[in-house]
Amino acid sequence: MAETLNLIGAGHVGRVLGRLFAQHGCFRIQQVLTRSAQSARQAVDFIGAGSVAAGYDQLRPASVHLLAVGDDQIVPACEALAQAVSLKNSIVFHCSGALASDRLQAAREAGALVASVHPIRSFADPAAVAVQFSGTFCGIEGDAAALAVLTPALQAIGAQPVPIDASAKTVYHAAAVFASNYLVTVLDAALRAYQAAGIPEPVARQMAQPLAAESMANVFRLGAAAALSGPIARGDMATVARQQQAVGQWDAATGALYQALVAPTMDLADRKRK
């Protein structure tokens, strides 16, 4: 029989993992505890397994405890769990991308093995993610014995676990911000600069798209250094200086962004030439 799992917190990530673990027989979902009985019932219905726990005092011991709560709730939830349930020889893990498994110290002191599993994707539509989860990368770190149990379970639901350095967890999480959020910010700067030259916004998007799409494709195909092109890659620093001055005069904040990107782009160009 599959090992039991208690789910603490059942937002989008918790519900998806709970459903997939149950469907693939990785763990037997035992209890679900959330801030309200109604949301716990909705989570149980979504998962298709488990029962509602009205409070920590109603939780039964389980082989695995998943803390699918917000980052600011991981420590208090772990402490409450350790006070309510025997955790000796169990596994406690959370799904934060920004915090390491060391935030689960209360569980470790209570005799549990601890870990973190961070699925790298958007969970805006849980039902769709549950169907299309295969291939999802998951950053994992924690106690080796805990990962020895969690890794095959993740692989069984189609995930691709990637071990990460727990001491660099915040930098790891920032990687997603660079690859997603800040990429949008840089593209917005490009669109606004086109518009400053009198180009309508819809046309600006059409003009920027092939440049951005081809650059991204080259990065993922060749690597960042090989994909770099433009004045810095050519060593044309006179053009860079003129652009920096012009952009700063047009919009100070965007000029500061341009200036901040010069030095790391020069480093990238040096790598390209090696």
Whether the Cβ atoms of residue 62 and residue 81 lie closer than 8 Å to each other:
no
Same domain, 233 and 112: no
Q: Please give the radius of gyration of the chain, using alpha carbons only, rounded to the nearest integer.
A: 24
Note the pLDDT of residue 2: 79
Same domain, 157 and 175: no
Whether the Cβ atoms of residue 98 and residue 173 lie closer than 8 Å to each other:
yes
Q: Scan for tokens 């341009």, then name that residue.
A: 258
- Name residues whose C-beta falls within 8 Å of residue 101's C-beta, 6 or more positions apart in sequence: 93, 94, 114, 115, 116, 141, 142, 143, 166
Same domain, 143 and 177: no
Same domain, 234 and 119: no
Task: Kindly give the parts of the chain with pLDDT less than 50.
Answer: none
Q: Which of 127, 148, 164 is the last residue of a domain?
A: 164
Same domain, 32 and 149: yes
Same domain, 14 and 150: yes
Same domain, 104 and 215: no
Note the pLDDT of residue 273: 93
Same domain, 38 and 150: yes
Q: Show the beta-strand stretches assigned E in the chain.
A: 3-8, 27-33, 51-52, 64-67, 91-94, 113-119, 137-142, 160-163
Q: Which of 164, 187, 206 is the last residue of a domain?
A: 164
Domain limits for position 35 = 3-164
Whether the Cβ atoms of residue 32 and residue 50 lie closer than 8 Å to each other:
yes
Same domain, 55 and 86: yes
Same domain, 129 and 101: yes
From 160, 178, 169, select the one nearest 142 (Cα to Cα): 169
Neighbours of 150 (CB within 10 A): 26
CATH number for position 207: 1.10.1040.20
Q: Specify the DSSP element, H or E, that contains 259.
A: helix 252-273
Note the pLDDT of residue 182: 97
Angle at 251 between CA 185 and CA 244, to 5 degrees: 85
CATH number for position 19: 3.40.50.720
Determine the Cα–Cα distance for residues 162 and 96; give it in Å rounded to an integer: 15
Same domain, 78 and 204: no
Pairing of strands 51-52, 64-67: unpaired
Provide the number of structural domains found in the chain.
2
Whether the Cβ atoms of residue 156 and residue 179 lie closer than 8 Å to each other:
no
Q: Which of 102, 130, 164 is the last residue of a domain?
A: 164
Same domain, 61 and 149: yes
Note the pLDDT of residue 1: 58
From 163, 82, 61, select the one nearest 116 (Cα to Cα): 163
